[in-house]
Amino acid sequence: GQNIDQPTEMTATEGAIVQINCTYQTSGFNGLFWYQQHAGEAPTFLSYNVLDGLEEKGRFSSFLSRSKGYSYLLLKELQMKDSASYLCAVRDLSLNKFYFGSGTKLNVKP
């Protein structure tokens, strides 16, 4: 089965940096994804890691360690519009399925 864990909620200040962690256990790992979701809307793709290391895309970076079953999403220069839920998702290629963590609600304060 799949077991994906994220913190439920985090609060950070505008302009700061925040790191959202995700740990996972899966039988057939083939990629870890991060999505942003505003309330009542569909998730939007942020990043994808399949190999160990850091992937940087502007203000967002994502890190993966496959041996540790661990990933994090790093958000820099936080803006108020970054207040949203951030979902960690794992693709299990052996099952051809895509599973989401419970999501981390990020509150950005002035």
Chain contacts with another protein (rule: CB under 8 A): 31, 33, 40-45, 48, 50, 85, 87, 91, 96-103
Measured from the CB atom, the residue of 76 and 93 that comes closer to another protein is 93
Q: Taking the complex as a whole, how short is the minimal distance between the CB of residue 14 and another protein, in angstroms? A: 24
58: left (phi over 0), alpha (psi -120 to 50) or beta: left
Residues 10/105, Cβ–Cβ less than 8 Å:
yes
Q: Taking the complex as a whole, how short is the minimal distance between the CB of residue 48 and another protein, in angstroms? A: 6
Measured from the CB atom, the residue of 13 and 107 that comes closer to another protein is 107
Q: Alpha carbon of 96 to those of 28, 34, 57, 80: distances in Å?
A: 9, 18, 27, 36
Q: Taking the complex as a whole, how short is the minimal distance between the CB of residue 97 and another protein, in angstroms? A: 6
| Partners of residue 11 on adjacent β-strands | 107
